[in-house]
Amino acid sequence: MKRIFKNRITENGLNPTHFHTGQLKILAYMVPICVVMALPIVFIIMNAFKPIDELFAYPPRFYVKNPTLQNFSDLFSLTSQTNIPMSRYLINSIVSTFLTVFLTIVFSASAGFALSKKRFKLRSTLFKINQTALMFVPVAVQIPRYFVIVYTGLSDSFWSNIIPLLAAPTCVFLLKQFIDQIPDALIEAAVIDGAGDFTIMRRIIFPLIRSPLSTVAIITFQTAWNSVEASTFYINDDSIKNFAFYVSTLSNQSGNVVAGAGVSAAATLIMFLPNLLLFIFLQSRVMNSMVHSGIK
């Protein structure tokens, strides 16, 4: 019966396994949307290879006519003239971003597990507080966060690149919603077998929420990789600042607004590529998490 129903759907063109004329209306709708969504990505890539005259051409040009690597050459020559090499900023960003992603996944999944499967006092209140935190943009909590960092002695510390980003109410909410879908009987069976909370998390929870964990990893990576807040407000030591802050200061370091535009374009592409590559490798799991996010 299932095979007959599937064959009828295929014959009607609703879900064909090969090209069908019924797909043309879908393509006519989706292709322009995909093109518009891809334009910013193409522009960032093209901009990095534009010579100076094309960067300041009027009217602005979308595509590059005479691609060049001069912008990247200027970028690396500029970094060789500074006291702290670009590689130091890059390593700082890689280490801080990796730790932020790892710790956010662990803390958010643990909090989601506690809010979903544990019964304790003020559980609903804590979850409502987490939901309330979703309404606040980072700028709204920037001053309180500064006082917390200063009074806890984390200013001018490498950890100030990491700890402020670990409070991720969006990640906690997302993972809690997915953990709600895990049957309580499965958790109870593990408890009867003598499994503790850490064993349940490692062997049951984490394997079953891989898709939302990938989504959390991408969100956290983008936030940590592009963050300049700590390097701007909390850190005075240039040796522990991150690459995003270094990129934001390239135009001033060059001493020339015209030359700085090309250097900034090349650095922007370097900053953008890790985000793009990470999403390409994890996009299938992200799509799965979006599909199942509303299923109870």
pLDDT tens-digit series, residues 227-244: 888 888 888 888 888 888
Taking the C-alpha atoms of residue 176 and residue 161, their distance in angstroms, rounded to an integer, is 26
Do 94 and 155 touch, CB atoms closer than 8 A?
A: no
Lowest mean pLDDT among 34-48, 165-179, 222-236, 237-251: 237-251
Q: How far apart are CA 261 and CA 181, in angstroms?
A: 50
Place of tokens 């995909």: 34
DSSP state of 151: H
Q: pTM of the prediction?
A: 0.78
In tens, the pLDDT along 91-138 reads: 999 999 999 999 999 999 999 999 988 888 888 898 888 888 888 877
Q: Which residues contact residue 170 at a Cβ distance below 8 angstroms, ignoring those fewer than 6 apart?
A: 134, 219
Domains of the chain (ranges, CATH numbers)? 87-248 (1.10.3720.10)
Please tell me the predicted confidence (pLDDT) of residue 287. Answer: 55
Mean of the per-residue pLDDT values for the chain? 80
